[in-house]
Amino acid sequence: MAVHLTLLRHAESTGNAAGVWQGSTDAELTPRGRAQADAVVGRLAGRSFDLVVSTGMRRTDETIAGLRAPVEVDPGFREIALGEWEGLSAAEVRARYPDAVARLLAGEDVAPTGGETLREFVERIVAALAGLLDRLDDGDRVLVVTHGGVIQNLVAHHLGLEPGFRSMGIVANTSLTELVVDDAGVRLEVYNDAVHLPDPWTRGRHAADPHVHLIRHGETDANVSGRWQGRTDTLLNANGLAQAELLAKVAPPVDVVVASPLRRARDTADALARLRGVPLRIDPDLVEIDFGSWENRTREEIAHLDAEGYRAVYGEGRDLPRGGTGETFAEASRRIARAVARAAEDPGADEPGLVGHGGAFRAYVATVLGLDFVDRDRLALPRNASVSTVRLDESGATVARYNVAVPA
């Protein structure tokens, strides 16, 4: 069984614009929010959904009013109830309720008067999703129009992360997050995709923190045929070249481009650097995972030619050097972490774009999220010419977006 879930955060509300915590407050959309709603409805117009679910709040219902589709209401997907904290800014909550905030930061499960604890909130939304999944059939596609905290915590829960609002970055108004639920579990396909908006790469409230964009190269013939390229130096095909040119026009506002030395990444990076008029540098740490003797073979060929090695890695979950002489998932992750750190520490770069490879980038993002090799399939492999973003601060790295592909 496989079910595709699209989680849509509502458009900007009056509470969002005022910078206050809404929770259960039934706020309406702002004029800017209505424009965002029009944009996302236009984007979704070409998609077919077997079911559309809303929380019944004004800000969610108004967001999808233009879809003109039957909508089922499920209050289980509503935002966390914040009781007496609703209508206040974060600074006001800290000033008025310092003891409760201190207990929250210490890890206690605290509820504002009239509100929910984080544990109660997560239990509620997880139960709502489980109830929804129980009613679906194989192949169903569902749109759930909900709230930022719900999306963050549903994703965190199904990735096996701690509940809260730190593991996954804040999702933008009208952003799309996509999950696939099948017999293997829940897989995150896309996180925080807002490319339908005029400002899809906004940093929001974390504008002062370094942001590093991880950009996968355009398509190659090996990608099409399912061959594991690794360190093999393949070229972009015609579609990949077109992807690189389009990416250069709509990618985040990078001020330096750093690329893997492999041609498929360098050519993708060159298009971006050339159009933006920014420096292009090469970092050997951005190369793809070394697949050893498995290079340039399909999964089926590898399983046939090296059944024992393939079974050890992908059947038993042992993170061994690929193809006997290659590299491990953990080694690739450490390489990318070094490249990210160097880019973030560059005094001449406020928003670097790192152009590299899907396998190595997924290994790094998985490590940021605390996922082991055996959990790697909870994250989809980044698509060609997709953008994933990490935000860095004194606490470490946070995944701000994942596998966001530029519009075709």
**For this structure, is 288 an active site residue?**
yes
Catalytic one among 288, 295, 327, 351? 288
Q: Which residues contact 41 (CB under 8 A, 6 or more apart)?
A: 64, 66, 67
79, 150 contact by CB (below 8 A): yes
Tokens of 215: 């950009």
| Calpha distance 55→78 (Å, rounded) | 5
373, 330 contact by CB (below 8 A): yes
The neighbouring-strand residues paired with 256 are 352
Distances in Å between the alpha carbon of 9 and those of 33, 79, 149, 307, 372? 11, 11, 9, 45, 29
Tokens of 157: 């829960």
**For this structure, is 308 an active site residue?**
no
Q: Which residues contact 68 (CB under 8 A, 6 or more apart)?
A: none
The neighbouring-strand residues paired with 70 are none
Q: Which residues in 284-362 belong to E strands, given as ranges?
A: 297-298, 352-356
Catalytic one among 4, 10, 213, 217? 217
Q: Which residues in 237-339 belong to E strands, given as ranges?
A: 256-259, 280-282, 297-298
Tokens of 363: 């290994």
Active site residues: 217, 288
